[in-house]
Amino acid sequence: MRIDILTLFPEMCEKVMSQSIIGRARKNNVIDICCHNIRDYTYDKHNRVDDTPYGGGMGMLMMAEPIASCFESICKQLKVRPKLIYMSPQGSVLTQKKVLELSQIENIAILCGHYEGVDERLIEEYDCEEISIGDYVVTGGELPALILADAISRVIPGVLSSNECFEQESHYNGLLEYPQYTRPYEWRGRRVPEVLISGHHKNIEEWRKKESIKKTIERRPDLISQVDMNEEIIKLLDEIEFKYNSKTND
C-alpha cells in the first residue's frame, strides 16, 4: 500500500512517519509513505499557496491550482489516481471501521488543509472524501493526516507482529478493550484479578469478553448499538446488564 501526504510541512510529516513501528515498516518496504510539499507546485515567484476568499471574511484560503498540480503529479508518477482524502472538521468522524475500509485501498492521498481551508472547487473536482478526527479544530491538517496514516498503516499485514495486535483492541469489533495488567501482582494494594493468573484459558477469554462489554456499557454506551451481535455477545450482554441493574438497585 502507498500513502501520499500533500502538505505545507513535509519535514514534519516525514519526521513522525519515520519513527517507531511505522518507520520500521517503511524501511522494510511493508508500506510506502511519501510526503509532498504543495509549495513546490505554485506558479508565482513567491511560492504562494493562499489568497483572500471571495465575499470577504477573516483569514486566507488555500488555492486550488497548487494542490491540483501536486495531486496530478502524484497521479502521473503512479499511473493511477489515488483516492483523495481531505482532513476537514466538516468531514465524517474517523472510526476504526473506516480505517479498515481504507486499508483495503492500494493508493491513498491525504490532503492537509491550512488557514481557513481550501477552495471548494478543488474538493468537487477530485471528489475528495472529507474526514475529521473529532468535533474540534486544530491549526493545520498535518496532525489529523498523520493520525489517519498511522491508523491505516498499523492494520496493514506485516506492519505489526501479528493481526492479533490490533484485532484485540478497542473499537476493532465495536467494543472497548478489556482491562490489562502486568507485574507486579500487587501494586499499592491493588491486585491482578485472580482469573488472569489461573492459567484457565477459557475462563480468561470469557472474563475478557465480559469486561470488554462492561467497559463499553459504562464508558461508551453509544457503541453497543453498533456491535455485530451474535448469540454469545447477546448472552454476555444480558448477564452483565442484569448484574449491573441488580447492583444499582441495592
Domain ranges of the chain: 2-153, 186-249
Is the CB of residue 3 less than 8 Å from the CB of residue 108? yes
For the chain, give the mean pLDDT: 90
pLDDT in tens, 10-41: 999 999 999 999 999 999 999 999 999 999 99
- The reported pLDDT for the residue numbered 246 is 60
Report which residue type is found at 22.
Answer: I
The 10s digit of each residue's pLDDT in 50-82 is 999 999 888 999 999 999 999 999 999 999 999
Give mean pLDDT, residues 173-188.
90
Q: Does the pLDDT at position 239 exceed 70?
A: yes
> Residue 236: is its pLDDT beyond 80?
no
> Could you give the angle at the alpha carbon of 177 between the alpha carbons of 176 and 183, nearest 5°?
150
> 25 — phi, psi (to 5°)?
-65, -35
Q: Locate 196 and state its grid cell.
A: 488472569
Q: Which uninterrupted H or E stretch holds 132?
A: strand 129-132
| 243 pLDDT higher than 70 | no
DSSP state string for 151-167? HHHTTSTTTSS-THHHH
Closest by Cα among 121, 97, 225 to 170 = 97
- Judge whether residue 43 has pLDDT over 90: no
Residue bearing the bigger pLDDT, 220 or 170? 220
Question: Hey, what amino acid is at 171?
Answer: H
Residue 103, C-alpha cell as written in the block: 486499508
- CA-to-CA distance for 174 and 177, rounded, in angstroms? 9
Alpha helices in the chain (DSSP H): 10-17, 20-27, 64-78, 96-102, 120-125, 142-153, 164-167, 201-219, 231-249
C-alpha cell at 225: 448499538
Q: For domain 186-249, is the CATH number 1.10.1270.20?
A: yes
Does CATH place domain 2-153 in 3.40.1280.10? yes
Residue 229, C-alpha cell as written in the block: 451481535
Q: Is the pLDDT of residue 227 over 80?
A: no
Which grid coordinates belong to 228?
455485530
CA distance 240 to 182: 25
pLDDT band at 225 (very low <50, low <70, confident <90, very high): confident
- Greater pLDDT, 84 or 221: 84
- Number of helical (H) and strand (E) elements in the chain, helices listed first: 9, 9
Most confident of 131-140, 154-163, 167-176, 210-219: 131-140
SS3 131: strand
Q: Could you say which DSSP state residue 121 is in?
A: H
Q: Which whole number is the average pLDDT over 73-98?
A: 96
Window from 48-52, 187-191, 204-208, 238-242 with minimum mean pLDDT: 238-242
Contact between 154 and 146 under an 8 Å Cβ cutoff? The reply is: no
Does 3 score more than 90 pLDDT? yes
- What is the pLDDT at residue 171? 53
Contact 236, 210 (CB under 8 A): yes
Q: Are 100 and 163 in contact (CB under 8 A)?
A: no
